Structures are given as C-alpha cells and as structure tokens.
Homo-oligomer: A and B are copies of this chain.
Amino acid sequence: MLTAADRVGQGDAGGGNAVADDAGFSARQNEVIEVALRLLVEGGDKALTTSALARAANCSKESLYKWFGDRDGLLAAIVTHQASRVRIIDTAALPKTREQFGAALRLFAEDLLTVLLSDTSLALNRMCVAAVRGEAPGVGAVLLERGKRRIEERARRLLEAGKAGGYVRFEDARAAYRTLYGLIIGDLHINALLGDQAAVSSLSIGGHAREAVAQFLTLYAPAGAGPKIQS
C-alpha cells in the first residue's frame, strides 16, 4: 500500500507523453495544483474540497483521484509543488569579507520574513498544522522536510562559512541557527498564523532584518572583537 507521501510525484504513470517538472507533475497537473493553492489561500483548508477544486480548475474529480490518489495526496502535492517554487538562492559565491557575510545574512533574513509571512506560506502552514494528528507524520512532515529543512541548510552553510572566515564563533550550529531564526522571526509567525494582521502590516522587512542580523552578529562575535552596537 502506498502512503500519500509515496504517491507524490507518481502522477501520469499511465504512459502519457506529458513532461514532468522537477517535482514530478505534468503541466496540466501543475495548473490544477496552482488553482488548489489559490483556493487554499482564499478560503482556508475547509474551502479546498475536491468538488470545489474540480469546478474551479475545470477538471474532473476522477482525474484528481487518478493523479493524486486521495485528498491527502493532493495536499502533499501542493506542499511539494510550492516548496519547489521557493527557489533557494543558493549563493554559490560564499562571502569573502565580513561585509559580504553580513549582507548575505541580511538577505537571508529578508527572504525568510518575506516567505514566512506571505499569504501562500501562511495558508500552507495552517493546513499542515491542522493536519497533524497525534503520532502520525502527515503532511506537516513533508513541509518540514521539503521546505524548512532546505532553508535551514542554506543558513547553516552560510553560518559555517562565516565561522570559517572568522566572522562569527559558535559550537553548536543547530543552536546558532535557532537563535538566528528566533531573532528574525520572533513571535511574528505565530501571530500571523493566528490571524493577527496588525503585527505583520506594521513591519519594515528591511529594517527588521537589519536589526535582527546586527543582534545575531553581536551575540556570536568572535572573542577578540568588541561589542558591536546595532546601527
């Protein structure tokens, strides 16, 4: 028996000639997935019914079940699709100077804020959070693995580069990343997830990112450097 996660990316297995994208879905399937994502953003988890999706995307429910297996498979497909869209700007050019390192951190902070507070990400996170049932992994694991983990990897590489260059000092990379994440996000994400729009609307992404990175550099400054005051 295939689980929903296993089924992801196995659509169009009948031998058609459609080309699959990176995530393994045909063009038509991606169209449907994007309509599903739109429904999800507009009306939340409850609005994304198979009937509503078939109507909005001009496809048949039978096709939905052939492509995605069941509703959970559809949800997993949406998460996978969106995770492949959020291209991680893998700064192949690792920072060579302290200024480049700070700039790379600020860029990461701005990207993280922009993505996490976007309507799309919020709707997706709400869906995955709601799908967690006790011990079952569910769709939330897919989002964790294909979304957050990859973002964390990017930051970890950046932090290691900063450590190698002597710009920051830390022992536990996991703890350092958690601190960086906390300084950038704070309680913004959970407030936004709970529907508090005021917290998000009155926020300067650039300014907040700069402040958070300055705080991080202060905390993880090498022993020799004096305390850096945030600009």
Contacts and interface: CB of A to CB of B under 8 A. Distances in A.
B186 A187 contact: no
A42 B136 CA distance: 12
Contacts of A132: 44, 126, 193-195
A190 B43 contact: no
A191 interface: yes
A185 B186 CA distance: 8
Nearest to A184: B182
A194 B187 CA distance: 16
B190 A182 contact: no
A51 to B, nearest CB: 18
Nearest to A197: B135
Interface string A212-226: 000100110000001
A196 interface: yes
Interface string A186-204: 1111110111100000000
Contacts of A129: 125-126, 129-130, 193-194
A134 interface: yes
Nearest to A47: B133
The 5 closest A-B pairs by CB, nearest first: A182-B182, A130-B130, A182-B186, A178-B186, A140-B194
16 contacts: A43-B133, A44-B130, A129-B129, A129-B193, A140-B194, A140-B195, A144-B191, A144-B194, A144-B195, A178-B186, A179-B186, A182-B182, A182-B183, A182-B187, A185-B187, A226-B227
